[in-house]
Structure 1
Amino acid sequence: MILDVLFPNRCIHCNRIIDGNLLVCSLCFEQIHFTHFGYHSENNLKEKCKLLFPVENAFSLMQFEKENLSRKIIHELKYKSRENAGKVLAEWLIDSLEFKEKPDLLVSVPLHPKKLKERGYNQLHLFTESLSKFYKIPFSHDLIKRNHYSKAQALKDKQHRLETLNTFSITRPISNQHILLIDDVFTTGNTLATVAWEILKAGQNKISVLVMAMDE
């Protein structure tokens, strides 16, 4: 297409021209700090989650270190209208994640309707849908409702992120389900914990966690 010639897709890190479905070139891909966690094994993310709520398994695709490439990738996904980055991240994760026992449902952390309207998309939806299609696990984008609007986590200082400013609610009864809760970045774990407890309180449910990146 003419637009592809005039405005070719470029690596978000080094600016090389790359295939339209990619985020980074092969050289920059090698610079991404993947965690290499085992989903069913003990790992740093699971230990952090266990301090906040009962968790079965936990997995993070990347490390979210200051000034590293994973931070730039998440920023492109959330704030630069690169919704397709969610599909790319799902493809990377599929190469790393194996389920010995599949969860019953994939649930993404919701945006407030006002935030969704501002951004035009939820950065987790295409990611979750891609995983659902590959692993043949159903998903829900509306099981959890965010009740309050707030500014982005990235714009808050650390103290504010520690405070539970956002509350969530369950939109329908759910029990005896193993829920894989999906978010973009684990920082303090405050948001995930708030959602997890709502699900746990709703019935005899179990929670596992999957994030694109985790902050040290």
Structure 2
Amino acid sequence: MKDIFLDLLFPDRCLDCSKIIESNLIVCNMCFEKIQFTHFDYFGENILKEICKTLFPVENAYALIQFEKESVSRKIIHELKYKNREKTGEILANWVTERIDFKNSKPDLIVSIPLHKKKLKERGYNQLHLFAETLSEFYNIPFDHKVILRSSYSKAQALKDKKHRLNTGNLFSMNKNISGKHVLLVDDVFTTGNTIATAAWEILKTGNNKVSVLVMAIDK
């Protein structure tokens, strides 16, 4: 009864136009049409895979949406990361499942880019966990968010200039030994690629592993 009362007083609204929407949505139907999906082929060639190949050996790569300035796509990611809208991760994952069929070539393990424990405490959640868990359940691929640890604390990528985004240093370390696995490495926004490359190399150098990449958005 309490939830019904709260829904009446504070209904869910489209994050773009503020129209009242169902609780399982983040944008209305009209604003959904504004979302810039990439239409990438996970198994084919695309700009994300091309960039990744210059940074580390990659099997496949996929980005769901374009992270354009002043776009609905950017608003969606910012709601997820900075506005306590963790549920958005599940919605984004559902959009992925509508677009990727792994067929007989699905990865062995899903691994998400971790937050530093201080950042995790500040935010209260890792914006990738519900996203990865939803993918894991749908595709029946194990998900482990403790494979990699973030070694250093830094401010959000969105607040950094390009010079500092390139400076990843010893950003990650392996927390678990894995070998002979095809890892699907997931992140929110792909910008320079240095963060995900640093994580990928940690996975690649620990054993006879392979890495594919799946990101919510690409900023290119």
Shorter-chain TM range is: over 0.9
Corresponding position of 1:151 = 155
Note the alpha carbon deviations across 1:102-159, whole angstroms, 9 max, x for none: 1000000000000000000000000000000000000000000001100000110111
Q: 1:18 & 1:75 partners in 2: Cα distance?
A: 19
SS in 2 for 1:140: coil
Q: 1:19 aligns with which of 7, 22, 25?
A: 22
Q: 1:35 & 1:138 partners in 2: Cα distance?
A: 26
Instruction: For 1:123, give the aligned amino acid.
Output: Q
Matched, 1:214 2:211: no
Q: 2:169 & 2:65 partners in 1: Cα distance?
A: 26
Corresponding position of 1:140 = 144
Contact 2:90–2:130 (8 Å) recurs in 1? yes
Q: 1:80 & 1:166 partners in 2: Cα distance?
A: 29
Corresponding position of 1:52 = 55
Matched, 1:194 2:192: no
Corresponding position of 1:67 = 70
What TM-score results when the alignment is normalised by the length of structure 1?
0.99
How far did residue 166 of structure 1 move? 5.4
Contact 2:146–2:176 (8 Å) recurs in 1? no
Residues 61-210 of structure 1 mapped to structure 2, 5 A cutoff:
61-100=64-103, 101-165=105-169, 167-210=171-214
Q: 2:101 & 2:60 partners in 1: Cα distance?
A: 12
CA RMSD of aligned residues (A): 0.7
Mind listing any 5+ residue stretches in structure 2 that lack a counterpart? Answer: none
Instruction: For 1:194, give the aligned amino acid.
Output: T
Contact 2:63–2:215 (8 Å) recurs in 1? yes
Name the stretch that deviates more: 180-189 or 165-174: 165-174
Corresponding position of 1:10 = 13
User: Identity rate of aligned residues, in percent?
Assistant: 67
